[in-house]
Amino acid sequence: MESDVKVKQITEVLDQLAEDTSVPRNIRRGAKEAKDLLLGQKDALDVRAASASFILDELANDPNIPLHGRTLIWNVISQLETVSNLKKP
């Protein structure tokens, strides 16, 4: 399914961000939290994607985040917007 592939790609980028030691600890923790939320099965995919986007948006506005981390987060947020529009068959 297309949505599963997209979610897997997004979680890989979030893992990369969560393991990047040049990024502050709170940003790494937030990336892991967003990933866990996205992979949870409690809510519908579009709700999970919106929740993860909200967390990531907060992180992107952190003044301590390095530029490469902010760019990664913006890319993930744009990918999450496309996930919200995908429907599972």
pLDDT cut 70: percent of the chain above it = 92
Buried b (16+ CB within 10 A) or exposed e, 66-77: eeebbebbeebb
Q: What is the domain extent for residue 53?
A: 2-85
Number of domains comprising the chain? 1
Query: pTM for this one?
Result: 0.86
Q: Specify the pLDDT at position 86.
A: 60
**Residue 78 sits in a domain of what CATH number?**
1.20.1440.50
Q: Over 50: is that where the pLDDT of 89 sits?
A: no
Q: Is residue 38 within 8 Å of 48, Cβ to Cβ?
A: yes
Q: Specify the pLDDT at position 2.
A: 77
